[in-house]
Structure 1
Amino acid sequence: MARFRNKKRKVFVKPVAKKQPSVDHVTGEKIPKSFVFSRGKLPGPLRQLQMDLRKLMLPFTALKLKEKKRNNLKDFLNVAGPMGVTHFLILSKTESAPYMRVARTPQGPTITFKIQEYSLASDIAQSQLRPRCPQDLFKNSPLIVLSGFGTGEQHLKLTTIMFQNIFPAIDINTVKLSSCQRIVLLNYNKDTKLIDFRHYSIRLQPVGVSGRIRKFVQNHQVPDLRTLQDVSDFVTKAGYGSESEADDEAATVSLAADLGRANRVSTKSAVKLQEIGPRMTLQLMKIEEGLCSGVVIFSEYGNSNAKEKQDKKERKEGEDGDDEDDDEDSKEEEDDDDETGDFNEEEE
């Protein structure tokens, strides 16, 4: 019996994911990329904080990084090289408090922070009357602003350099205003020695325009004029803004390019920041020379020469075959050799 082949049947071809650029075409510098993962088991809220941090680091991070129980730090490091990953953000939990480590691959340094307090992005949204999160908000990296770190202390200089390099650098002469939609603010309080970590969205509002006209231009919606006698009533009834929307000269800018329908070039617009989370209060605990190991450059509990010599002695004994590590500076951290699991990296 003759067989007939269906010529119209199409062969399924798996789509190829678009690769992200590794070098900035404007500045020519290497674009930093990151992995956000955990060491040890995390409770539910900290797991959600991990997802919020991954979203914050978009687009140059692995949003769907999956972990299993038999991976260690070396596994992540082996994958980081071919993929161009430059930084690790590692969350862990001890009996006393949660911790976050920010490390540069492949040889460090590593900065350890104790998370004193934190709020999830969902908590921030629930506390706001009108939460704002546009679809294209995470298509570009956030801007980084550091405040209070210029005290001249060496450990604060290292912290400043680490956070500046974890996000892509921008060229103020060529940057597009449409790409500046988020900002990460870190404020250091020299009295409490705590760092306030905040994440905001940036929006512009035209100055001297009533709220009704602004909504009409931005939302493309036909207003309800049934209760008005004339079209002019729609313009004059709302006035030119309430006291809460008063124009602040320090927060107004003159635009160099068009940004949407309401914000035009050479016009003044007010800069508004709206928090989108997550929010953290961090305490700098320790800075290590290597990747989660090495000489302790700074410690909150003191960094005497005797303690450094003791640390070197213990590491040398460990290299000779001793499996126990009694480093006093890492009592409250998870051991990097604990099992965490295999992972599959998927990028958007």
Structure 2
Amino acid sequence: MARFRNKRKVFVKPIAKKKNQQASVDHVTGDKVPKSFVFSRGKLPGSLKQLQVDLRKLMLPFTALNLKEKKRNNLKDFLNVAGPMGVTHFLLLSKTDAAPYLRVARTPQGPTLTFKIHEYSLATDVAQSQKHPRCPRDLFNNSPLVVLSGFGTGDQHLKLTTIMFQNIFPAIDIKTVKLSSCQRIVLLNYNKETKLIDFRHYSIRLQPVGVSRRLRKFVQNHQIPNLRDLQDISDYVTKAGYGSESEADDEAATVTLANDIGRANRASTKSAVKLQEIGPRMTIQLIKIEEGLCSGGIIFNEYGSDFEKKKDSNEIVKDQKDLDEQED
């Protein structure tokens, strides 16, 4: 007689969404959350490769930090992958004989902004120049805030630049944003005389106003202070050099907090806003805007009619040919 096996039903427990899992829709604009690919076209020297790594960290958390590139990959390969992954922007680094370039493009149909990199400093260079560099573990858990200065001249190409950089990071709602998530800021300052853009990346930290450094560290740290050589706890608080500290308590740089942030900054109290540069740092110049993705009609050209007059001998044209060849 045949035996009947007792088949047990397999139950697959649904995977719970992690609290820190990033949403795919921006709750402020209702559009897709901006995501980016940062990669290179052509061969880069070592310093520019490190700049590419720094830019990927800057674009966190909505970027591919460990994006793998191969020499045979072309722009279409990245574009084919970008669609299913919801990538909205490309940041492309390249190098010609004259200078390095950074292109910022909206996928899949453009526009593309091409910037010439005049100067740059890596994040490690910025940290080495500081006495006390600061880079907490959770610094890159949230996108940076974006501040644009000097772009309100009314010129069409500057309006496009403003829109591009505003949309490359998720929008924030001032009424609902958590202050604890605002830990970084990207500042772009346009100089209309030199036509150069200063690109800076800072970390944001708060310090309670009117509190000595010793008390602040005592509250923030979980270590018991060394009171061995002191007679009383008051000696620790009022010790010379630490009792009255005038460390940037400027009224213009202070804010009144709506809720608690960390252990030292409490709601309804004043805290001083501190910005500390974490890099990378760049000085860039907008030289061209194209309608499409690294192709199409030219909306803006910094060199104007001179670009056409010197077609045969101008180094600018040679650089442009090198950039175009990197996309083939």
TM-score, normalising length from structure 1? 0.83
SS at match of 2:190: strand
Unaligned runs of 5+ in 2: 1-14
Is contact 1:210-1:241 (8 Å) kept? Answer: yes
1:133 Cα deviation after fit: 0.3
Change in CA separation of 1:184 and 1:241 when aligned onto 2, cut-off 3 Å: farther
Is contact 1:73-1:336 (8 Å) kept? Answer: no
1:338 Cα deviation after fit: 3.8
- Compare relative contact order (CA 8 Å, sep 6+) and give the higher one, 1 or 2: 1
Q: Measure the CA separation in 1 of the matches of 2:227 and 2:305.
A: 71
Q: 1:257 aligns with which of 243, 256, 259?
A: 259
Hey, what does 1:223 align to over in structure 2? Answer: 225
1:332 Cα deviation after fit: 1.1
Q: 2:319 aligns with which of 314, 332, 335?
A: 332
Is contact 1:113-1:286 (8 Å) kept? Answer: yes
Change in CA separation of 1:338 and 1:151 when aligned onto 2, cut-off 3 Å: closer
1:239 Cα deviation after fit: 4.4
Hey, what does 1:10 align to over in structure 2? Answer: none
Is contact 2:51-2:122 (8 Å) kept? Answer: yes
Query: Matches of residues 21-60 of structure 1 in structure 2 within 5 Å?
Result: 21-25=23-27, 27-60=29-62
Q: Measure the CA separation in 1 of the matches of 2:206 and 2:184.
A: 12
SS at match of 1:247: coil
Hey, what does 1:272 align to over in structure 2? Answer: 274
The Cα offsets for residues 9-38 of structure 1, whole Å up to 9 and x where unpaired, read as xxxxxx999774210245533210000000
Query: Matches of residues 40-119 of structure 1 in structure 2 within 5 Å?
Result: 40-119=42-121
2:44 aligned partner, one-letter code: L
The Cα offsets for residues 280-321 of structure 1, whole Å up to 9 and x where unpaired, read as 0001111111111111111111059x96xxx9xxxxxxxxxx
Please state if 1:242 is matched with 2:245. Answer: yes
Unaligned runs of 5+ in 1: 1-14, 312-326, 341-348
Is contact 2:259-2:267 (8 Å) kept? Answer: yes
SS at match of 1:332: helix
Q: Measure the CA separation in 1 of the matches of 2:178 and 2:198.
A: 28
Query: Matches of residues 148-159 of structure 1 in structure 2 within 5 Å?
Result: 148-159=150-161
Hey, what does 2:10 align to over in structure 1? Answer: none
Change in CA separation of 1:123 and 1:159 when aligned onto 2, cut-off 3 Å: same
Hey, what does 1:212 align to over in structure 2? Answer: 214
Is contact 1:299-1:329 (8 Å) kept? Answer: no
TM-score, normalising length from structure 2? 0.88
Is contact 1:99-1:114 (8 Å) kept? Answer: yes
Aligned sequence identity (%): 79
1:153 Cα deviation after fit: 0.8
Q: Measure the CA separation in 1 of the matches of 2:183 and 2:248.
A: 22
Report the more deviating stretch, 149-158 or 227-236: 227-236
SS at match of 1:291: coil
Instruction: Report how many residues are paired.
Output: 308
Is contact 2:75-2:327 (8 Å) kept? Answer: no
Q: Measure the CA separation in 2 of the matches of 1:16 and 1:66.
A: 29
Q: Measure the CA separation in 2 of the matches of 1:293 and 1:232.
A: 69
Change in CA separation of 1:187 and 1:338 when aligned onto 2, cut-off 3 Å: closer
